[in-house]
Amino acid sequence: MREPSPVRRATLAQVAELAGVSLKTASRALGGEPYVSDATRAQVLTAARSLDYQRNSAASLLASGRLSDSVSLITGDITNPFYSALAKGLEDAISERHMHLSVANARESAEQEWRLARSLADHQTKAIVVVSAMADHSPYKTLQARGIPVVFVDRPAEQVAADSVVLDNRGGGRTAATHLLGCGHRRIAFVGDYDWLPTHRERIAGMAEILDDAGVSGWRDLVRTGAHDAATARQHVRELLALPDPPTAFVAGNNQIVLGLVEELAAGAPASGRPAVIGFDDFEWARVLGITVVAHDAGEMGAHAARLALDRLRDREREIETVVLPMTLIARGSGELAPPA
């Protein structure tokens, strides 16, 4: 019996011919490179989809049989424990399908993120889950056109139709502000991460809804940003405590910031009395130190991302889904301190 002829893969030349562009332009468009107009990129992507084109830079891996099914996670800053919990939830979910997880660290660099995404796609990853530092996610359309699902986590998809898993950050901000107001605080400081982060902006917006409605004036003067590490957070806290009328309460925008905040408070009690503290994100030592937190389940976020990626692999045409996970206040004592008399 004659063996069936192998199905030939579409070539880049065929994509270029169908799109009516040069081979070089087709390569640039599919690689997400600049200097390609939106109209031309759309033509090339349409041609690639119609031909079921797949870039083949991993052909040697396929030929050797060394390529296994993998899902890739691109993180913002792998030193943050949040990403460990996220990766574990993702890995646990995909391991049930006999897939493994690859993790890459973009270091909050949009350029590094896109280099990693293209490299992972060229090495035939089945799906990409990304905590993105890019303001415009439209380049990811080129990867979607190659049949690679892209799921955005923690930060929602922007200018691309893609699945997302995010937190109710605005609700978390409202919860923190409401709790501190209920304890009698009016001088409430917020120490946050980079101000371009959507998580930061939403948490501030949630606090604003509550504090402005309550008629609290001057609270925006107590907002500090750019504290991406504990050392910078500690410096901001030190400056705020040195004000003539210092804050009586602090909200820390993430687990690294609350670490710096607690370190600065441990260095010496402020003359005005110990302020109340609420941190975003939960972490093991917060339980030991009695830190009140606005918490979420990073592992659950990873599990949802895995489900969305696997569902997209099964059905490319399914409706885009955005999962919003709740944030819950856990009172442990630090956020319940009353302001000094």
- Judging by DSSP bridges, how do beta strands 70-75 and 127-130 pair with one another? parallel
Q: Which of 53, 69, 89 is the last residue of a domain?
A: 53
What's the CATH code of the domain at 217?
Answer: 3.40.50.2300
Instruction: Name the band, by pLDDT with cuts 50, 70 and 90, for residue 9.
Output: low
Q: What is the pLDDT of the chain when averaged over all its residues?
A: 89
**189 close to 250: Cβ distance less than 8 angstroms:** yes
Q: Is residue 61 part of a domain?
A: no
**180 close to 337: Cβ distance less than 8 angstroms:** no
Instruction: Name the band, by pLDDT with cuts 50, 70 and 90, for residue 7.
Output: very low
- DSSP, res 108: T
CA-based nearest residue to 192, from 114, 108, 254, 113: 254
Range of the domain at 23: 1-53
pLDDT in tens, 136-168: 999 999 999 888 999 999 999 999 999 999 999
Q: Which of 38, 53, 68 is the last residue of a domain?
A: 53
Q: Is residue 70 part of a domain?
A: no
Provide the domain count of the chain.
2
pTM, rounded to two decimals: 0.80
Instruction: Name the band, by pLDDT with cuts 50, 70 and 90, for residue 34.
Output: low
The predicted structure's pLDDT at residue 4: 42
The predicted structure's pLDDT at residue 61: 39
Give the residue, 213 or 267, on which the prediction is more confident: 213
**130 close to 90: Cβ distance less than 8 angstroms:** no
Is the pLDDT at 237 greater than 70? The verdict is yes
What's the CATH code of the domain at 31?
Answer: 1.10.260.40
Q: Is residue 69 part of a domain?
A: no
d(CA 271, CA 256): 25
* Average pLDDT over every residue of 185-192: 98
Q: Is residue 238 part of a domain?
A: yes
